[in-house]
Structure 1
Amino acid sequence: MASQVWRIRTRGALAPLVTVKRTIYSTVKTHYDAVIIGGGHNGLVAAAYLQKGGLKTVVLERRHVLGGAAVSEEIIPGFHFSRCSYLLSLLRPHIYRDLELKKHGMKVYMRDPHAFTPMLEDVVGGLPPRSLLLGSRLDMNQMEISKFSKKDAKAYPEFIAHLDNLAEAIHPLLDSPPVDIAGLTEGGFWRRIAALRSATPLIQCGLKLGKNIPDFYEIITAPIMKILNRWFESEPLRATLATDAVIGAMTSPNSPGSGYVLLHHVMGELEKEKGAWGYVEGGMGGVSKAIANSARSHGADIFTEMDVHQVLVASDGSAKGVVLKDGTEIHSRVVLSNATPHVTFKTLTPQSALSPSFIKAVDQIDYTSPVTKINVAVDKLPNFLAAPTPDGKPGPHHQCSIHLNCESVEVLQMAYNDCLEGRPSSRPMLEMTIPSVLDPTLAPPGCHVVSLFSQFTPYSLEGGRAWTEQDRESYADSAFSWIEQYAPGFKSSIVGKDVLTPPDLERIFGLTGGNIFHGAMSLDQLYLARPLPFMSDYRSPIKGLYLCGSGSHPGGGVMGSPGWNAALAAMADLKRG
């Protein structure tokens, strides 16, 4: 499979890469206070806080490398890729500070400008095709937008301020569990008091929104185009903004609820800059490595190539540890799973310990994913017709999220429609990033790593057929051919690639359905209903077993909040006894 074998041209030949390293920091013990299943960033965050809280904690990662989806891998000799997740913004600031991630080695390259949308259009009078370049300077953004609409250029600052206000109001909800509805309605006196406290973040959110509550309700329920059409008239601007409303989600700009996906992608901050996105030095594994270093500094044990087979459930129905694939038992007071809800409850938990109604509910969680990630090694920078750089040196646009096949909403909708019919999009939506433009550690001199986050591709092809190697090659070639139209010479610059379809993302990273968010970020699977309406406080039906991954509130992205919130829930329960 393309995702298993990687090759690079070497003096005219193709040579395979086979390198696997394992690092052992200590010997795994048989007893801990807390066991974390999975070394993704949320599991590592949970481990750091549990260990800081005085609980002896161990992280057990199935793969040979830490990070889950936030991982760096040298999949082609000399080229280091953020193989799955590829940008940082949503990591909560208090986690960044508490765990001293900068001290523990995390370095971020800020991007400005941050978005580049070139057009495919006939050259007029010798001029290059038009493009849209957006960054942190509103005056420059307005100048760029005015190439398409002066009216839109005038409205843009107000729209961004409006979106920022809505996104900022959500922040209190990110760092707290959802409201304890059961405690409010069924609990005793003291639980009701505690449940009332759990409503504080929701109240804070409402107060921050104030008169904007109707606008907030609309953006989380409406198709994003209903909102964008009210603000703007130019197609390139609307389409560029719409891409953030569908990225990673099996939805179209005209689907209800797509507005929330946009909000989710603008509610982060980086280096105190709201809405900013950046590249982590060494790739996204640099985030996971820094969190792991922080956890280890407090005494946590972290192991790779430790494949958990099952959660151990005691006769009283509580979790008492885990058993590894080799039969080794590791006992603990609590178990936190960084796996998806499906993997946690359908694979890792004994089915006899769960009720049939709960198992049925778990089966209904939506993991539909439209994403195929293509990692590409190139021996020169793409040279875009819309912003030519004939000298081969990076231009400002090379550091951006480069939106290809995104100049009109109609193109996005057609790509979505193809996928609904079981076909990879014939004109896929492509978000290209080239982090090596800012981070020289990722590729050999003069070469670059290119990340293609592509949509829309189905999990199964027409008739339920599984992807073949030929299907992967055909889809990748189609994507490369589209890039070639924007940047002639791109195809000849390719020296290696790694094609990860939804089934590949599931197999390699444990992402059920290939869904990068551990479950769709639709309204029926958010806040009080994430992952299920009766299980939104990280606690599972099995006492002592918690969810700490993105399948729990507040959802996907390299955020850390699920790990933080789950760790607090586990520590609170242990304190109460």
Structure 2
Amino acid sequence: MAAAMRFAHFRTALVRAAAGSRGCHRSAPKTQYDAVIIGGGHNGLIASAYLQKGGLKTAVLERRHVLGGAAVSEEIIPGFCFSRASYLLSLLRPHIYQDLELKKHGLQVYMRDPNAFTPLLEEGVGGRPPRSLLLGTDLAKNQKEIGKFSEKDAKVFPDYVAHLEKLACAIHPLLDAPPVDVLGITQGPLRKRVAAMKSLKPLVKSGLKLGVNIPDFYELITAPIVKVLNRWFESEPLRATLATDALIGANISPSSPGSGYVLLHHVMGELEMEKGAWGYVEGGMGGVSKSIASSACSLGADIFTEQEVGQVLIGPDGSAKGVVMKDGTEVHSKVVLSNATPHVTFRQLTPQDALPQEFITAINQIDYTSPVTKINVAVDKLPNFLAAPNPADGKPGPHHQCSIHLNCESVEVLEAAYREGQQSRPSSRPMIEMVIPSVLDPTLAPPGCHVVSFFIQFTPYWLEGGRAWIDEDREKFANTVFDQVDCYAPGFKDSIIGKEILTPPDLEREFGLTGGNIFHGAMSLDQLYLARPVPSIANYRSPIKGLYICGSGSHPGGGVMGSAGWNAALAVLADLKQQ
């Protein structure tokens, strides 16, 4: 009976997810709007909601058949629903969550606790299983786990957590506001320069929050993460596990300068009022996009799928006047916002003769290098880890709900994976983050089965000799990954009943992620804050009047956060108010 009920719940959820992932309107867009948004990723959808709230009739035009961009759910293997690209929620800004009433619009989250599991490859002692590290919200339990490797590390771990929380909280004001308006402060009439000084407020607020911690913050965002972790800890499994948050999605190693900021980016989230928490969205990450789209539609926004924009429409006065669809249809508007990457926006969708040459040169220099391959797998049973054997009843253990870190025995293992990836060949022992969301969410897979997501580094965009990936290469790398998993959980490979392999070029093709980069551009210090995506348009406004960017390629960067869409919408509303 329980299995039958679960199956009914599962099928109902799949049908509901499929229906809700498409646009609010099935007919074609109208010919005139106040605002048109290119791309139905989460930032574009958030921007549409706030523009509509601000009184602008807004349309979202999504190229694919499904909304969400990289935050999307799809049934790519019959009976199994996957978060095809992004796969965890934490960074979505709380005020957006509340303003748009996302719970009312169907957003449900399964909280994870514990949240990180690192099994080791080693011989057990005295017949016991190999050791592992399990971390969650309970500091006492964390200390007990860490104590298996180092009593010293166990003792200082609470101080490390508190230290990171202080630094993370201090940058929240920067996330919810555009960067400092340097040009406004330094140029133009005195009245406007004084007004532009208001843009300093978030920076000052962050500085005051940091206080005496400013030197620590500076070190964290500029130093190699291994330098920071070595100061705190001595045990390799703990250092390697913590280092993964500094590397995830970034083409850097633990010894790369600036890797600390990526770590901070992954600990500054909040979910259900719990700081630093991560969770699974019911029905997959498309549930986030679906709830935002529902909120925007309830406010009056028009949202369309299978509507591909071919070009931004530039008027005789040099300003944006709307878009031209791939079929030649024109949709006119006062402003255009692009949720696409800066490269797609300014090199593919914008007429090149409308942009200054120095701006095009700057756009060409943005780094989109991605080391990520995403593999989505359907299995007919739970993996059985040597370090945490499954009980006889086959029920999931606490570790199954976690981000499972494989090949994280030491920082050197991560360094070796990085070095290999830089030689234009996939790592032979890659860094693997494995999640099994169906352990908490019964809507994703049939009873007894599960969906597994692998986020894997390091894989190059081009293979040796500048060769493109072919199916044989994908299969070979997937087998490398599955063989590695089998070392930790024998029999995993035999449980696979379907898979999808998305290398960097595949992520680019499917989701419009230039270079396959999940952040719409590297999150390196030269591409953050005042320089994201390039210094001349860090405030969401392009050189073309009326054309804005609102995606993760703008400040504050990647992750399912929503700040870029929120900030861009406020910039548009402010500009139109002054006209």
Tell me if both proteins adopt one fold, taking TM over 0.5 as the criterion: yes
2:412 aligned residue (407, 410, 413): 410
Secondary structure of the residue aligned to 1:471 is helix
- Show the counterpart of 1:528: 530
Letter in 1 for 2:114: P
Query: Is the counterpart of residue 207 in structure 1 residue 208 in structure 2?
Result: yes
- Show the counterpart of 1:423: 425
Deviations 1:450-494 (A, max 9, x none): 000000000000111000100000000000000001001100000
- Show the counterpart of 2:545: 543
- Structure 2: how far apart are the matches of 1:265 and 1:191? 37
Deviations 1:285-340 (A, max 9, x none): 00000000000000000000000000000111100000000011000000000000
- Show the counterpart of 1:326: 327
Letter in 1 for 2:537: M
Letter in 1 for 2:64: R
- Show the counterpart of 2:182: 181
Show the 5 A alignment for 1:264-283: 264-283=265-284
- Structure 1: how far apart are the matches of 2:119 and 2:188? 57
Secondary structure of the residue aligned to 2:204 is helix
Letter in 2 for 1:103: K
- Structure 2: how far apart are the matches of 1:311 and 1:327? 12
Give the drift of 1:571.
0.7
- Show the counterpart of 2:67: 66
- Structure 1: how far apart are the matches of 2:530 and 2:141? 41
Show the 5 A alignment for 1:87-166: 87-166=88-167
- Structure 1: how far apart are the matches of 2:451 and 2:397? 16
- Structure 2: how far apart are the matches of 1:483 and 1:385? 11
- Show the counterpart of 1:170: 171
Structure 1 runs of 4+ off > 3 angstroms?
A: 19-27
- Structure 1: how far apart are the matches of 2:22 and 2:211? 53
Give the drift of 1:549.
0.0
Give the drift of 1:267.
0.4
- Structure 2: how far apart are the matches of 1:191 and 1:281? 47
Letter in 1 for 2:134: L
Letter in 2 for 1:507: R
Query: Is the counterpart of residue 220 in structure 1 residue 198 in structure 2?
Result: no
- Show the counterpart of 2:371: 370
- Structure 2: how far apart are the matches of 1:478 and 1:65? 31
- Structure 1: how far apart are the matches of 2:77 and 2:189? 59
Deviations 1:348-376 (A, max 9, x none): 00001011111111000000000000000
Tell me how large the CA RMSD over aligned residues is.
1.0
Letter in 2 for 1:533: P
- Structure 1: how far apart are the matches of 2:421 and 2:188? 46
- Structure 1: how far apart are the matches of 2:425 and 2:120? 25
Runs of 5+ unmatched residues, structure 2: 1-17
Deviations 1:267-290 (A, max 9, x none): 010001000000000000000000
- Show the counterpart of 1:3: none
Secondary structure of the residue aligned to 1:297 is helix
**CA gap 1:548/1:386 in 2 versus in 1, 3 angstroms:** same
- Structure 1: how far apart are the matches of 2:417 and 2:316? 52
- Show the counterpart of 1:555: 557
Query: Is the counterpart of residue 33 in structure 1 residue 25 in structure 2?
Result: no
- Structure 2: how far apart are the matches of 1:534 and 1:292? 31
- Structure 2: how far apart are the matches of 1:406 and 1:514? 24
1:401 aligned residue (396, 400, 403): 403
- Structure 1: how far apart are the matches of 2:252 and 2:174? 24
Deviations 1:97-122 (A, max 9, x none): 00000000000000000000000001
- Show the counterpart of 1:86: 87
Q: Is the 8 A contact 1:35 1:57 kept in 2?
A: yes
- Show the counterpart of 2:336: 335
Secondary structure of the residue aligned to 1:102 is coil
Query: Is the counterpart of residue 467 in structure 1 residue 446 in structure 2?
Result: no
Give the drift of 1:192.
1.2
Q: Is the 8 A contact 1:26 1:301 kept in 2?
A: no
Secondary structure of the residue aligned to 2:536 is coil
1:453 aligned residue (452, 455, 458): 455
Secondary structure of the residue aligned to 1:330 is strand
Deviations 1:134-186 (A, max 9, x none): 00000000000000000000000000000000000000000000000011111
Q: Is the 8 A contact 2:22 2:67 kept in 1?
A: no
Q: Is the 8 A contact 2:71 2:560 kept in 1?
A: yes
Deviations 1:74-117 (A, max 9, x none): 00001000000000000000000000000000000000000000
Secondary structure of the residue aligned to 2:293 is helix
Letter in 2 for 1:335: V
- Structure 2: how far apart are the matches of 1:568 and 1:36? 14
Give the drift of 1:28.
1.4
Letter in 2 for 1:471: D
Runs of 5+ unmatched residues, structure 1: 1-18
- Show the counterpart of 1:4: none
- Structure 2: how far apart are the matches of 1:371 and 1:44? 25
- Show the counterpart of 1:513: 515
Instruction: Using the aligned pairs only, state the percent identity.
Output: 77
Q: Is the 8 A contact 2:118 2:134 kept in 1?
A: yes
Corresponding residue pairs, total: 559
- Structure 2: how far apart are the matches of 1:340 and 1:384? 39
- Structure 1: how far apart are the matches of 2:413 and 2:577? 55
Q: Is the 8 A contact 2:71 2:85 kept in 1?
A: yes
Secondary structure of the residue aligned to 2:487 is helix
Q: Is the 8 A contact 1:383 1:390 kept in 2?
A: no
Give the drift of 1:390.
4.0
Query: Is the counterpart of residue 495 in structure 1 residue 505 in structure 2?
Result: no
Give the drift of 1:26.
4.4
Secondary structure of the residue aligned to 1:440 is coil
Instruction: Tell which deviates more after alignment, 51-60 or 389-398.
Output: 389-398
Give the drift of 1:22.
6.3
Show the 5 A alignment for 1:256-295: 256-295=257-296
Q: Is the 8 A contact 2:376 2:499 kept in 1?
A: yes
- Show the counterpart of 1:302: 303
- Show the counterpart of 2:15: none
Q: Is the 8 A contact 2:380 2:496 kept in 1?
A: yes
- Structure 2: how far apart are the matches of 1:456 and 1:302? 36
